[in-house]
Structure formats: structure tokens, C-alpha cells
């Protein structure tokens, strides 16, 4: 390549170069500040968002089939389109889930006139096939679990316990130890579309808290003297929060499959 005879190299002006560099630095700093401000605004909005958190979705292929207290076989998927709560209990030692069972009874009364709200209790222990219906029927009568609102059901332990752990996201896999059944007695909330939902409590600073409805844990907090942040006990505050979350989910529409 032949350069023109009048070719002269460009003369760099240090002042112009410094000015250009400072302009670029200023643009980068301004951009960073704007990004930070946008993130702070988004964080504040997220922290104050109290929509119930989606944890998991129970699909039809992972559904649970139950024998109910009326002797009929039913699938939990039949409740799709309803809002429902589910807890696990022992029929032989109902005191092991007495707190969640008491809350379930109050929910049944509170929402007795709400046709699209249901309750389900799962009997954790195995039962002889010949006795399962009579055992469930007797327990349902004892605890005022009335159809069609409140299902009491059971299944083979291997199937039932796997569903409880994998689909209801229980903290522990149900198992027998020392003559008693060990299981997560939390109340699990399911929306119309089969999503597990948990309450979200906004905070003025930091990330919003996601709350599980573990009433045994709330009672432990009360025993330790921990405050709920309201005049109510932790147990009472959790029950109030559960009822409010149910109301929110009842207001949500059923989505297309």
C-alpha cells in the first residue's frame, strides 16, 4: 500500500483525550447510579409484595388417590378449581397434630358457606384393607369432618408418604419411631390451579418473609417468648394470616391448563 505524498500523522491533543475520558467516566457513573436506583426501587416493591408465594404445582400425573370416609375412591385432582388446605394426622394419636387439627376445624366453620373451599386430612398410618372405611368413618365422625367439604382419606403408606414428602413438600418423611408416627403436621394451602402457596409478609427493610403454616413451630416461638409483631400470639397471628391468604386465593381465577 502506497501512502499519499501529503500524508501526515494525526496530532493527538492530550487535553481533548482527557476530556473525552472524563466524559466516558461520567457517563458510566451516571449509568451505574441509574441502575442502582432502579434496583432499589424494584427491591422496595418486592419487599412490599404480599402475594402468596408459589412453591410447587401438583400435576395430574403425580396426583394422589384416596379412600375416603364414605368408602368412595377419590383423586385429589378432583379439587382442581377449588382452594383447599391439607394436613397430615395420626388417627391413633390425634394429639400429635392437635394444633393443626384445631385450626382445620375452625377453618371448616369459617368457610362453611364457601362452596369452592375444601379441607383434606391424610391418615398417616397404615390400615388393614378390611377396616379402612370403618376406621376413617369413625374418625371423621369424632372430628366432625363432614363431606363434601372435608375429606379424610388414606392410601398405602409407600404411596401416601412419598406424596406427602415430594408433593406437599413436608419437612420430614413420615416414619414410625418409638411406637409413634413422626410427620410434618403443617397445614398446606393449595390454590385453584394446584399450586402450593405460602403466605408472604412484607418488611419495611430487607426481603419479604415467606411463611409456612406450621402451628407447632408457632407454639414453640410463643414458649420461647418471641413476639409476633402484633398483640396476638404467634399461633393466633399465623391462623389470621392463613385465613387472609385463603381469602386472597379465593379471589384469584382458575387459569387455563
99: domain range?
Answer: 53-250
The reply to whether 42 and 59 lie within a common domain is: no
Say if 256 falls within a structural domain: no
Average pLDDT of adjacent 10-residue blocks, the chain of 257 residues: 56 70 75 59 51 94 96 97 97 94 98 97 94 96 97 96 97 93 97 96 75 95 88 94 97 85
CA angle, 111 then 114 then 118, to 5° = 75
The reply to whether 128 and 237 lie within a common domain is: yes
**pLDDT number for residue 24:** 75
Q: Which three cell numbers mark 139?
A: 374418625
Q: Which three cell numbers mark 199?
A: 403466605
**Quick one: DSSP state of residue 243?**
H
Say if 18 falls within a structural domain: yes
**pLDDT number for residue 47:** 46
Say if 226 falls within a structural domain: yes
The reply to whether 43 and 61 lie within a common domain is: no
β-strand partners of 53: 198
The reply to whether 131 and 76 lie within a common domain is: yes
The reply to whether 189 and 89 lie within a common domain is: yes
The reply to whether 69 and 21 lie within a common domain is: no
**pLDDT number for residue 48:** 46
Say if 120 falls within a structural domain: yes
Q: Which three cell numbers mark 182?
A: 413422626
Say if 2 falls within a structural domain: no
The reply to whether 25 and 60 lie within a common domain is: no
Say if 4 falls within a structural domain: no
The reply to whether 35 and 81 lie within a common domain is: no
Query: Hey, which bits of the chain come out as E strands?
Result: 53-57, 65-68, 73-75, 83-89, 117-123, 150-154, 175-177, 180-182, 188-190, 195-201, 209-211
The reply to whether 33 and 148 lie within a common domain is: no
The reply to whether 178 and 84 lie within a common domain is: yes
- Do residues 53 and 197 make contact, with C-beta atoms less than 8 angstroms apart? yes
Taking only the tens place, the pLDDT of each residue in 55-98 is 999 999 999 999 999 999 999 999 999 999 999 999 999 999 99
The reply to whether 39 and 63 lie within a common domain is: no
**pLDDT number for residue 38:** 53
Nearest residue to 52 via CA among 234, 243, 216, 206: 243
The reply to whether 40 and 75 lie within a common domain is: no
Residue 147: CATH number of its domain: 3.40.30.10
- Do residues 253 and 192 make contact, with C-beta atoms less than 8 angstroms apart? yes
123 class by beta-carbon count within 10 Å (0-12 exposed, 13-18 middle, 19+ buried): buried
Say if 1 falls within a structural domain: no
Say if 188 falls within a structural domain: yes
Q: Taking the CB of residue 113, how many other CB atoms lie within 10 A of it?
A: 7
What's the structural domain count of the chain?
2
Q: Which three cell numbers mark 174?
A: 413420615
Amino acid at each position: 500500500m502506497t501512502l499519499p505524498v501529503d500524508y501526515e500523522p494525526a496530532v493527538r491533543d492530550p487535553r481533548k483525550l482527557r476530556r473525552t475520558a472524563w466524559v466516558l467516566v461520567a457517563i458510566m457513573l451516571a449509568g451505574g447510579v441509574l441502575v442502582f436506583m432502579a434496583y432499589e426501587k424494584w427491591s422496595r416493591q418486592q419487599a412490599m409484595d404480599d402475594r402468596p408465594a408459589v412453591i410447587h404445582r401438583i400435576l395430574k400425573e403425580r396426583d394422589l388417590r384416596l379412600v375416603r370416609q364414605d368408602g368412595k375412591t377419590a383423586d385429589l385432582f378432583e379439587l382442581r378449581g377449588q382452594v383447599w388446605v391439607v394436613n397430615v394426622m395420626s388417627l391413633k394419636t390425634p394429639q400429635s397434630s392437635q394444633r393443626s387439627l384445631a385450626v382445620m376445624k375452625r377453618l371448616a366453620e369459617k368457610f362453611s358457606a364457601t362452596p369452592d373451599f375444601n379441607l383434606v386430612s391424610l391418615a398417616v398410618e397404615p390400615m388393614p384393607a378390611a377396616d379402612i372405611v370403618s376406621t376413617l368413618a369413625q374418625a371423621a365422625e369424632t372430628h366432625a369432618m363432614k363431606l363434601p367439604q372435608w375429606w379424610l382419606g388414606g392410601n398405602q403408606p409407600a404411596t401416601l408418604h412419598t406424596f406427602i414428602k415430594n408433593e406437599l413438600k413436608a419437612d420430614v418423611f413420615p416414619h414410625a419411631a418409638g411406637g409413634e408416627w413422626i410427620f410434618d403436621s403443617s397445614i398446606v394451602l393449595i390454590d385453584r390451579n394446584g399450586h402450593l402457596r405460602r403466605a408472604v409478609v412484607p418488611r419495611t427493610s430487607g426481603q419479604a418473609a415467606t411463611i409456612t403454616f406450621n402451628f407447632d413451630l408457632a407454639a414453640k416461638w410463643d414458649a420461647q417468648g418471641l413476639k409476633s409483631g402484633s398483640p396476638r400470639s404467634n399461633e393466633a397471628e399465623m391462623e389470621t394470616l392463613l385465613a387472609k391468604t385463603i381469602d386472597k386465593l379465593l379471589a384469584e381465577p382458575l387459569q387455563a391448563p
